A and B are shown apart, each in its own frame.
Chain A
Amino acid sequence: METYNPLTGYLPLALVFLVAGGMAFAIPLIASMLGPKSVNPIKSETFECGNVTIGSARQRFAVKFYVVALLFIVFDVEAVFLYPWAVNFKALGWFGYTTMSLFAATLIVALAYVWKKGALEWES
């Protein structure tokens, strides 16, 4: 019986990352070597279905997307906090359940607030 080394399980994972990254890098590289090269100014214009492009795309867009990003942080962190509880849930029993309910309740208040405030409306 060898001593348990927690890192051995990660060797295949590291290889997976290597292979995934390698494939993602190699495939376009091969394609760029195989393909023809014929650059011309019209072709390297921004493609807007044939219309002449006006201005740059580096401009502001709707603030709603930022709101969604903020909400995502809040509620995804909530979900993350639920995982350790879920794994130890049977040991923690009703005490843990109540505690997590209170935790979730505060976030439900947040959701209710956000909802009622109209941050989730996209039509208006």
Chain B
Amino acid sequence: MQRIGVVGFICGLIVSAIFGAMAAAYGLAGFLEKTLVEKLGIQGGAGIGNMLILMLVFVMVIATLLTLAERKWSALMQDRIGPNRARINLPGLRDQSLAGLPHIATDVIKMLTKEDFQPKAANKFLFNLAPMLAFAPAFALFAIVPAGPTLPVLGYQVQMSVANPDFGLLYIFAIASLAVYGTSLAGWASNNKFALLGGVRASSQMISYEVALGLSLVGMMLAFSTVQLAGPTGMSELQGGYLWRFTEVGGFDVGIPAWGFLLQPLGFVLFFAASFAETKRAPFDVPEGESEIIGYFVEYSGMKFGLFMIAEFVEVVVLAGVIVAIFFGGYYLPFGNEWLKAQTVFVEQPWLLGAVFGTVFWVKVVLLCYVQLAIRWTFPRFRYDQIQTLGWKILLPVGLLNVFVTGAVILWALPEGAATLPAAALIPFLQPLAIVGLVEIAVVVALTLTPREGAESAHADGHGHGHTDTHAPAPSHGATPVASSH
């Protein structure tokens, strides 16, 4: 009971910290926007403030905490205790493990004070460049993800994303694909066969899944007719609408929201799988493969290795943020948004509303980070051929199919002259899409659960081995080897 109380207290603490930080973010953004416009006459101050709070505080802090969370969580799953030895030598804290929190500090200090070491055979310039190329894109990725709605603060419209360029999601694709340089250069520059193998595997895997990644979001673009995440016509804002609006209880609106994962369940699964492979975490961790080849960073130590590691955790956070913004309603609650917006206190103090929605966003992000940790420690590593099979033979065709089914359903459902209507007014017409999406996912699940009868009968006929080419594998079964029952 006491433990539940502690957990509840800590959760409350975290949520209120997020709330405070988001309130501060709106304040700082508004202040900077006002200052820059009035003193220098340039816009974009809000973006700078957001960069400071969202990227340097939120993303980096969550990523740093994740390093500990990952170890603690894996320990929990493996029935261990996990890191608990580091102590802070202060009165009262001397005998407290503090849930291992001091380990974060000790890790940082350890990595900073290790020798900066380069192997003799390595290409020095590229060897030093690679960790930077791995870290910088991962860090820059978050720039277009909105953590809250655009609201007036100090008389200026303040957006809660660092930038909202016209090309929106393309920024993510462009910057994310730069990360492949870091890994492949690391593998090549080390001049180590294992590193080379890891680097080649990594780049090959990343580019394979980039195709599926690119296709998986086309469905959402079709549905919302935009590639922007932030802004009044961005995907996050549009997900505040309702597909089916049931009722209002005393002004409190209830319904099924137009969240991306309802419209595009298949797109969501594809995106999640593909982007998970992009982060190169288990079950897609053959580039690292610590039990076989160690990976592209085998020759790295100290802070250079640290950059690879922190880049991985930053990617986890950014991925969670992007998924929330595209598929899980961004900063909106599933219901009651209009009720919240109509409250007097929020009308008078819009930044408070922003802080509430920002908190919603970051709570979702943290939950998705947790899901990623759980996946990382649940699944065994794929073989390399399985990874390629999944990418090219399953995700790519399914992604293409998804795009064109989605397109047909939307066109069928749209009314005459739909192109002239604003995007928000079109949301109710996406209802068939949500239905089709659910049917799609049901079919895939059913296919996956169906036993493979073709393989069984082939064995029954006595063809034996070597005839796997006579029955093309059903897409959902991939490269599952036919078990021999002789």
Residues on A close to B: CB < 8 A? 2, 5-6, 8-13, 15-17, 19-21, 23-25, 27-28, 30-32, 34-39, 41, 43-49, 53, 56-58, 61, 65, 68-69, 71-72, 75-76, 79-80, 82-83, 86-91, 93-94, 97, 100-101, 104, 107-108, 111, 115, 120-123
Contacts and interface: CB of A to CB of B under 8 A. Distances in A.
A24 B47 contact: no
Contacts of B55: 16, 19
Contacts of B163: 9-10, 12-13, 16
B94 interface: no
Given A20-B136, A32-B116, A89 B222 contact: yes
B200 A65 contact: yes
Given A20-B136, A20-B140, A87-B226, A12 B208 contact: no
B119 A45 contact: yes
A88 B392 CA distance: 28
Contact of A83 (B44, B208, B210, B218): B218
B458 interface: no
A29 to B, nearest CB: 9
Which of B227, B298, B403 counts the most chain A CB atoms within 10 A?
A: B403
Contacts of B140: 16-17, 20
B388 A61 contact: no
B225 A123 contact: no
Contacts of A25: 132
Interface stretch (B185-193, B247-255, B328-336): B185-193
B195 interface: yes
Contacts of A27: 135, 303, 306-307
Nearest to B47: A12
A68 B115 contact: no
A35 B51 contact: no
Q: Is chain B's interface secondary structure helix, strand, loop, or mixed overall? A: helix
Most B CB contacts (10 A, CB to CB) among A58, A75, A79, A123 go to: A79
Contacts of A48: 192-194
A39 B165 CA distance: 48
B44 A68 contact: no
A58 to B, nearest CB: 7
8 contacts: A15-B47, A15-B51, A47-B298, A56-B121, A90-B419, A97-B408, A101-B404, A122-B385
Nearest 8 A-B pairs (CB), nearest first?
A12-B47, A31-B303, A79-B214, A32-B116, A122-B385, A86-B221, A24-B132, A44-B120
A114 B208 CA distance: 14
A20 to B, nearest CB: 4
A44 B42 CA distance: 52
B215 A9 contact: no
Interface stretch (B19-27, B106-114, B275-283, B353-361): B106-114
B56 interface: yes
Contact of B42 (A8, A28, A35): A8
Interface stretch (B73-81, B150-158, B369-377, B410-418): B410-418
B223 to A, nearest CB: 9
Given A9-B164, A20-B136, A69 B143 contact: no
B138 to A, nearest CB: 8
Contacts of A108: 397, 400
Given A19-B51, A31-B302, A43-B117, A120 B407 contact: no
Nearest to A31: B303
A68 B303 CA distance: 32
Given A9-B163, A76-B214, A30 B392 contact: no
B397 A111 contact: yes
A71 B306 CA distance: 33
Nearest to A67: B204
A87 B143 contact: no
B393 A35 contact: no
B115 A36 contact: yes
Quick one: which of A12, A45, A87 has the most chain B CB within 10 A?
A12
A21 B135 CA distance: 9
Contact of A10 (B165, B210, B407, B410): B165
Interface in B187-241: 190-197, 200, 203-204, 207-208, 210-211, 214-215, 218, 221-222, 225-227
B47 A11 contact: yes
A104 B50 contact: no
A121 B203 CA distance: 18
Given A11-B44, A16-B51, A20-B140, A87 B302 contact: no
B304 interface: yes
Contacts of B204: 65, 68-69
B135 A23 contact: yes
B407 to A, nearest CB: 5
Nearest to B403: A82
Contacts of B227: 83, 86-87
B218 A86 contact: yes
Nearest to B423: A90
Nearest to B205: A68
Contacts of A68: 204, 207-208, 388
Given A20-B136, A48-B194, A111-B397, A35 B221 contact: no
